């Protein structure tokens, strides 16, 4: 019961890594509050986990909605011990795509802005809403979802890589700014993980992802959840400003 009676907010908690983290935190005694844009799946996840798990429909890119959500959690429990900034999306495309000397495609401005809004601004919105409450109560833990591609780059993911690299930078800044308030801030950088998105890919693509991973398999959502659990617990009480790779030794290629 490493998180007994802790109140944990998990964004993007309806499915995938967010769901696995919610399940793991609940097993360790946390009172889990999920938010997601998918209300139907989010409600089902909260019911499946059971106990004191709650769900709120929230778009993390919407500052007002985030603030209202965080205020509601504080009013409900009187504390917020852990924030897991897990919500994220992908909209992949090359910067420019050229064929026979002519440009035939490029990443759209809308897709760039959308990914930045959720993956980067969303993390900023949630952390900024939660931090004052953590300061008021004397401490807390903020955990941010980065990615190995935020460290290494990846073909066709200008927008996504920019957000995940940005999250690492914000993590380091917040660790410095919030440490004096007993708030630890860390990031987790998953490799290729068997979430619903990847599991739906063609087997040829999945085989390629495994081939780039020295351990020879995809990560499981539970692998990432266990990393979040460690960093959220008192076992990591002297760890802040770090980015933990959970990637099976992944080598990202082009």
Does the active-site annotation cover 160?
A: yes
CA-based R_g, the chain, Å: 18
- Burial class (CB within 10 angstroms; exposed 0-12, middle 13-18, buried 19+) of 247: buried
3-state secondary structure of 231: helix
3-state secondary structure of 91: coil
Beta strand 96-99 with 102-106 is antiparallel
Can you list the positions of beta strands (E) in 160-233?
Answer: 183-190
State the catalytic residue, choosing from 77, 133, 160, 181: 160
Instruction: Check if the beta carbon of residue 189 is closer than 8 Å to that of residue 244.
Output: yes
Q: Which residues are the active-site residues? A: 160
């Amino acid at each position: 019961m490493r998180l007994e009676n802790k109140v944990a907010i998990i964004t993007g908690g309806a499915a995938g890594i967010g769901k696995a983290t919610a399940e793991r935190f609940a097993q360790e005694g946390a009172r889990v509050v999920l938010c997601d844009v998918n209300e139907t799946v989010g409600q089902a996840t909260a019911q499946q986990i059971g106990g004191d798990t709650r769900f709120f429909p929230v778009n993390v890119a919407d500052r007002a909605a985030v603030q209202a959500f965080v205020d509601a959690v504080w009013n409900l429990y009187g504390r917020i011990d852990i924030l897991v900034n897990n919500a994220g999306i992908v909209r992949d495309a090359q910067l420019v795509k050229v064929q026979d000397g002519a440009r035939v495609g490029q990443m759209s401005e809308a897709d760039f802005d959308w990914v930045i809004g959720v993956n980067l601004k969303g993390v900023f919105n949630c952390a900024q809403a939660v931090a004052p409450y953590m300061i008021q109560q004397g401490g807390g833990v903020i955990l941010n979802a980065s990615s190995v591609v935020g460290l290494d780059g990846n073909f066709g993911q200008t927008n996504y890589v920019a957000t995940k690299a940005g999250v690492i930078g914000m993590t380091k800044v917040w660790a410095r700014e919030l440490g004096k308030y007993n708030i630890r801030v860390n990031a987790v950088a998953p490799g290729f993980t068997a979430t619903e998105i990847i599991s739906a890919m063609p087997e040829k693509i999945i085989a390629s992802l495994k081939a780039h991973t020295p351990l020879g398999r995809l990560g499981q959502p539970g692998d990432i959840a266990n990393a979040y659990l460690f960093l959220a617990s008192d076992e990591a009480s002297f760890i802040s400003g770090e980015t933990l790779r959970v990637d099976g030794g992944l080598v990202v290629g082009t």
